[in-house]
Structure 1
Amino acid sequence: MKLLRYGPLGQEKPGILAADGTIRDLSAHVADIAGDAILPEGLARLAAIDPATLPVVEGSPRLGAAVGGTGKFICIGLNYSDHAAETGATVPPEPIIFMKATSAICGPNDNVEIPRGSQKTDWEVELGVVIGKTAKYVSEDEAMDHVAGYVLVNDVSERAFQTEHHGQWTKGKSADTFGPTGPWLVTRDEVPDPQNLKMWLDVNGKRVQDGSSKTMVYGVKFLVSYLSRFMSLRPGDIISTGTPPGVGLGMKPPVFLKAGDVVELGIEGLGTQRQVFVQA
């Protein structure tokens, strides 16, 4: 299934993408794509519904973030061997974990605000893993049972805030609108191998990232198990798993985003995003 949320910011309704490409309204069945709706039994109930029997959503509504009620937005740094190489960094012996504020989450095609004082706003196409069942001290063999599905994420970053202002990376990752998420929550059954997905990102029509999740150092199973050792993972939590090479910071000379720039990105099977960058 491809589950989604549509409507004005803060008033999103639950929907599903039908086989004919139309959005169908799920409001009569669930309040939101969040909480109980993405538990295994909740997803099973939704899977039993024939989308053709649901009301068609007319027009082209705004799409919100694909999952609601996210309590934790956990990011993994330097998790692609080729991305680590382009930035001159060494692949860490254990995953680098940092948090992105949930207030950064926005719709996949919403405008993204360049923070005041920013000189180094950057892009990162990432595979997001959505937790669908509480995970605590789970093994790698059990890990996928706790995954509801996957989302496309742009882990927008302000590099000066991230690395030059001292302290942790979070301050360079958490500005409002720095977490476009969606367009869909694609359930796990539709993604047989999350470690073999093509990923791409364009800036103003130029392809700058063209990679694959197969160069991920720490894969989805490992990350879910690893993170569950340090904190419980709960339904709606998102793990953003890192980016392939081609970020602005890695270019020679570095290239960063400015107001008016258009960023488009996608992951095989997970849809696409398009953002216009504006000055905050």
Structure 2
Amino acid sequence: MKLATIKHNDQELVAVFSTKGIVLLETINELEGLSFDLNLFSIIEKGQLNELNEWYKNGGKEKMETYPMTLQTDVEYAPLYRNPRKIWGIGMNYVTDLSELKIDNVDEEPVSFLKPDTTLIGSNDYIELPKQSERTTAEGELAIIIGKRCKNISEDEVEDVIAGYTTALDMTASDIHAKNPRFLARAKSFDTFFSFGPQFLTKDEVRDLANLNVATVLNGETIHEKSMSYMKFPPAFLISFHSKVMTLLPGDIIMTGTPGSTVIRDGDIVECHIDGLDALKNRVVRYS
């Protein structure tokens, strides 16, 4: 099942993708006598996602084809949701060659950092280049959405706590970071420096993450692209690892690193492409 949050009558409402278009969950509730929340964060937090997905798989998908819907081309997306408790970023997680994965480095651990929720934007929102930076980069990544509260879980338990996946763009004021590695948090935390969506894909729709490709695209040109098999630390490890640092909560977001970043400038359009998901696109503007 694929979901999105769209702008409708001055509200941000969850909608479900059909083969022909996109149907508001509000419409599904009315026609089916259901009572799902209309906010994706609330659906995940209250444990309603599995119930909605079961409805979809057991006849709902077919019923939706007859319901009032909007063409995808006519939809204005909002961020999937706002104000997650945690946004974990992961750095330096892709190798250049698969042979590097065979090297046993027992001391290596993920490079991770937290971003505030004020960085969050959605598809087609503007990325604002801050006045303090002359060199900002963007990188396309897979983002994992946590579906259950968890702490100290093993990699074998990870599948049970994942809600789903989406596309993400992580921005960095790279010149600020270059001055001093200790400035990483500031370099990552400017407003509009985290974009995610427009589609949320439930975990059951993905059979093998390692075979999916992720790409950073600038002005229509693919700058970096690799399959997720090039990750040093796969998603299951990242979730288990960070659950041993702090309790993970429904709606928390964990990025998974990028095959490569690109410098972005005023007027650029930067995108994240992942197999099976619509592209995430954002235009870049200089903050005035």
TM-score normalised by the shorter chain: which range applies?
A: 0.7 to 0.9
Question: Could you tell me how far 1:10 is from its partner in structure 2?
Answer: 8.6
Number of the residue aligned with 1:26: 25
Structure 2 match to 1:269: 276
Q: Number of residue pairs matched?
A: 263
TM-score normalised according to structure 2 size: 0.84
In structure 2, which of residues 148, 158, 166 is the aligned counterpart of residue 143 of structure 1? 158
CA offset digits 1:144-170 (Å, max 9, x no partner)? 100000010011111022332552412
Find the counterpart in structure 1 of residue 87 from structure 2.
Answer: 73
**How much does 1:132 deviate?**
0.3
Deviates more, 1:184-193 or 1:67-76: 67-76
Hey, what does 2:143 align to over in structure 1? 128
Q: Which residue is equivalent to 1:258?
A: 265
| SS across alignment from 2:178 | helix
Task: Give a deviation string over 1:186-235, Cα, whole Å, max 9, x none.
Answer: 00001111222111222122221121111001011111111000101111
Deviation, 1:126, is 0.4
1:203-242 to 2 correspondence within 5 Å?
Answer: 203-242=218-257
Partner Cα distance (2:87, 2:117) in 1:
6
Alignment-derived partner of residue 87 in structure 1 = none
SS at match of 2:211: coil
SS of 1:167's equivalent?
Answer: helix
Cα distance in structure 1, aligned partners of 2:133 and 2:266: 11
SS at match of 2:40: coil
Indicate the SS of the match to 2:48.
helix
Instruction: Find the residue that maps to 2:284 and give its secondary structure.
Output: strand
- The reply to whether residue 56 of structure 1 matches residue 55 of structure 2 is no
Instruction: Work out the CA distance in 1 between the residues paired with 2:74 and 2:209.
Output: 29
Partner secondary structure for residue 156 of structure 1: strand
| Structure 1: gaps of 5 or more residues | 84-90, 249-255
Greater Cα shift, 101-110 or 129-138: 101-110
Q: Distance in 1 between matches of 2:215 and 2:208?
A: 17
Amino acid corresponding to residue 25 of structure 1 in structure 2: L
- Structure 1 residue 56 displacement after superposition: 1.6
- Determine if contact 2:89/2:113 at 8 Å carries over to the other structure: yes
Residue among 96, 101, 111 paired with 2:116: 101
Within the candidate set 29, 42, 66, 2:48 is matched to: 42
SS at the partner of 1:151?
Answer: strand
The answer to whether the 8 A contact 1:14-1:31 is kept is yes
Q: CA deviation at 1:11?
A: 3.4
**3-state SS, counterpart of residue 195 of structure 1:** helix
- In 1, Cα distance between the equivalents of 2:172 and 2:18? 34
Q: Is the 8 A contact 2:264 2:270 kept in 1?
A: no
> What residue number does 2:3 align with?
3
TM-score by length of 1: 0.87
The answer on whether the counterparts of 1:119 and 1:160 sit within 8 Å (CA) in structure 2 is yes
C-alpha change, 1:181 and 1:158, in structure 2 (3 Å) is: same
**Alignment identity in percent?**
32
Match of 2:173 in 1: 158
User: Larger Rg: 1 or 2?
Assistant: 2
Distance (whole Å) between structure 1 residues aligned to residue 92 and residue 181 of structure 2: 18
Q: CA RMSD in A?
A: 2.2
Q: Which has the higher helix share?
A: 2
